[in-house]
Amino acid sequence: MLERNGEEVIVNTSAFKKSITGVEKSKELWPPLYCIFCKKICHARGLFTASRYRPHFSHKREPDNAELCPLSSKTTRFKYLSGLGSNSEKAKQVKNSFFEFDNLKKAYLICRKLRGGKGKLAQDEFIKMVKVADSIGIWGYSYLPEWGIPLLLMLMSNHETPNGGASFFYELNKDRSHVNESWWKRNVRLEAHWVSSGEKIVAKEDKNPSFYLTLPFEKSIGEDILSKENLEWYDQDKLKKIWLFHEQHRTKSNS
């Protein structure tokens, strides 16, 4: 993330490389980079390396606990996504479609329900989750169905337990398979882990969990949640911050 004229600007490695044209060898002149999630200072690495070394951003100082920030280079939550290819043209189309207000609204309602319902996910928090997803570039993943984006957004943050006593995160897991059209159908699921230890959360025999320990990557999850909502009630006045987020993206796309 860059700060430009007081505004947060999400950049990928290609965009950042373009922004430093002419001063490539003068790192002191490069604009400062910050993590969109934890706001810590970041560095760009591998931009000019003529090898298979993949250009990427990394924290100047990685957190001791990799799961405190979903953008830590050592997080395990995205491990199965690393092998997926990405199509830039598809990514642009999917991103523009997702940023339509109706789609942002539906994604917010799905994520809010998965976080525990009303009062458990502020609009600002949801927008931050989308920004983290944008910085990773999830839009162009091979064969990713658009209905699955709200579920993947649950990977983009740490979540408090309902009583506020601890935090957990979701890690994507699946049965191994080659990357093809059936990849997302091979028992893909999101599994809850404790942020403090990284350990998978196991349900206690004598107690029902107060949050989802496993989220299957299935279209019916979102459909069931939205079927119980009055979508027309959530207009631009009710979701002012999300509407503004949509408008900002539309303005940038048309400029």
Query: Cα(221)–Cα(153) distance, rounded to whole angstroms?
Result: 14
* Rounded to 5°, angle at Cα 145 from 70 and 95: 65
Cross-strand bridge partners of residue 195: none
Q: Which domain holds residue 177?
A: 79-254
Whether residues 111 and 221 share a domain: the answer is yes
Cα pseudo-dihedral 179, 219, 149, 232, rounded to 10: 160
Whether residues 237 and 201 share a domain: the answer is yes
Question: What size, in residues, is the chain?
Answer: 255
Cross-strand bridge partners of residue 21: none
Question: Residue 69 domain-assigned?
Answer: no
Highest mean pLDDT among 84-98, 141-155, 196-210: 141-155
Question: Residue 206 domain-assigned?
Answer: yes
Domain count, the chain: 2
Whether residues 232 and 145 share a domain: the answer is yes
Whether residues 30 and 83 share a domain: the answer is no
Is residue 155 helix, strand or coil? Answer: coil
Whether residues 89 and 52 share a domain: the answer is no
Whether residues 213 and 110 share a domain: the answer is yes
**CB-based contacts of 228: which residues, under 8 Å, 6+ apart?**
none
Spell out the alpha helix ranges (H) of the chain: 13-19, 88-98, 101-114, 123-136, 149-153, 219-227, 240-254
The whole-model pTM stands at 0.86
Q: What is the pLDDT of residues 85-99, one digit of tens each?
A: 778 888 899 999 999
Is residue 43 helix, strand or coil? Answer: strand
Whether residues 86 and 42 share a domain: the answer is no
Whether residues 57 and 86 share a domain: the answer is no
Question: Residue 73 domain-assigned?
Answer: no
Whether residues 95 and 16 share a domain: the answer is no
- Give 179's pLDDT tier (boundaries 50, 70, 90): confident
